Chains A and B, each alone.
Chain A
Amino acid sequence: MSTDTLRRLTATEFTLFLRDKIGPIFGVLFPTTLLCVFGNIDFFTDPANGVDGQPLLYTYTPILVGFVIAMLALNTLPPTLASYREQGVLRRLRTTPVGPAQVLGAQFAICLGTALVSVVLLLAVARLGFDVPLPRQPVAFALSAVLAALALIGVAVLVAAVTPTAKAANAIGSVLFYVLMFFAGLWLPIEAMPPALRHVSEATPLGAAVQALADSTEGHWPPAWRLLLLAGYVVVTALLGVRLFRWE
């Protein structure tokens, strides 16, 4: 396969991703808008209401990074992959020299690339618009974000693998999104959760991810077990997803 093919595939899938609007709106515009809304509410910016003497907005920035990743992975990938299978798009591609695997590769690249753009935008607006400090340990932050993205994409592929239709994939993806976002602290920051709930949170992929992002935002490396847990989610979901995925 030539590089022209790969470029054309990725460009075409990206065009469809933009045309679909769901990913760009909910994965890029929405999280940053949410940040701006929080940033304009005194409750979020007054250190008196925050955790450890920090404004709540500081706590919410890594949560919103998790939100970006979960939104892009769970709400765009499963319906796209399941509808490609349902409509015979993947079956048609199996008769060409390219095959469907490369198309999924293009989807994966788009998801990861869009997440990167969205996270950079979010952090830039947080820093410039609302004086939220940038991550003090950027390498750990980047590593945590990439691991989180891979883990969530793995979960998304798994959802696409086990759901028969695009509708079902959409429904399961959304439900999972809210459940994982709950454990990531969107409605109640992990620090404010009762201990039992906090333990459950830290074991979920997005809870672990947000904690790792929060650690590196504050300037220290997340504990190794947290990163290993995320890496474990990546490996397990990738293996299961690839094993269970059906082209037809």
Chain B
Amino acid sequence: MTAVIEVQELHKRYGDKVAVDDVSFRVEEGEIFGILGSNGAGKTTTVECVEGLRRADRGTIRVFGLDPVRDRAELTQRLGVQLQGAHLPEKLRVGEALELYRSFYRRPADPATLMAALGLDGIRQTRFGKLSGGQQQRLSIALALIGNPRVAVLDELTTGLDPRARRETWRLIEDVRAGGVTILLVTHFMDEAERLCDRVAVIDAGRVVALDTPAALTKRAAADLGAPRATLEDAFVALTGENADVH
């Protein structure tokens, strides 16, 4: 397997505050790799450095061997991004947004196929401002995929969605991966990570405190707790914050 994303000894601080303090991981081709952490743990800063939105203070990042800041033009062609809290103009219609974003890329995907896959067909003419949270989220996934990327970074994919919409979104992500796209998923929902991710990195206070498959993490947590079974949430709580008595 080859590494699609390589992050080595990443450091980033904002003024006095250290946001990311030595983070390293590799994402292999074709996997769904999760970055887990509480709010403010440094997840988003880490992926923003991967996307080239922020410049790392130290460390190296390579995506397909490209430097996200230096080789930005090439990287943006190959990396699909779904951002937390990033929007479109209120009056832009769903179909127009896809056509616009499609024109940015060398080898775009077919908007009709994407719209069908993401259930956007019926709301083609709807303005962004009139979409429900779930619809906005589906459109934002469609826009992350319109450039036919080999890797997609999805940040807080299901925040604000109801349980049914979350489950639909999960199925969608599995379909996307089945289509050969490597996925870097940022989340603080443990059930989501357990269901979707092949491997996860748990980040706490800017550091990677664990990096393994969800199964291995839950197994270890169960052993440490002396319980027959544990969830990823048990493992996460044990690994992070004040309750970090297990390392």
Contact = CB atoms under 8 A, between A and B. Distances in A.
Contacts, number: 63
A96 B76 contact: yes
Contacts of A1: 104
B86 A5 contact: no
B105 A97 contact: yes
B96 interface: yes
Nearest to A96: B104
A12 B89 CA distance: 11
Nearest to A21: B91
A84 B88 CA distance: 8
Nearest to B77: A97
B92 interface: yes
Secondary structure dominating the interface of A: helix
A89 B92 CA distance: 11
Given A15-B96, A88-B83, A92-B83, A97 B104 contact: yes
Contacts of B81: 92, 95
B101 A84 contact: no
Contacts of A49: none
A87 B87 contact: yes
A89 B96 contact: no
Contacts of A84: 89
B33 to A, nearest CB: 18
A9 B100 contact: yes
A89 B103 contact: no
Interface in A2-54: 2, 4-5, 8-9, 12, 15-16, 19-20
Contacts of B52: 95
A98 interface: yes
B51 interface: yes
Nearest to A19: B91
A94 B73 contact: no
Given A95-B81, A96-B76, A97-B77, A12 B96 contact: yes
Interface string B66-88: 00000001001101010101111
Interface in A142-200: none
Interface of A: 1-2, 4-5, 8-9, 12, 15-16, 19-20, 83-84, 87-89, 91-92, 94-98
Given A4-B103, A19-B91, 17 more contacts: A1-B104, A2-B103, A8-B100, A8-B103, A15-B96, A16-B89, A87-B89, A88-B86, A92-B87, A92-B143, A95-B51, A95-B52, A95-B81, A96-B101, A96-B105, A97-B76, A97-B147
Nearest 4 Cβ contacts at the A-B interface: A88-B86, A92-B86, A95-B81, A8-B103
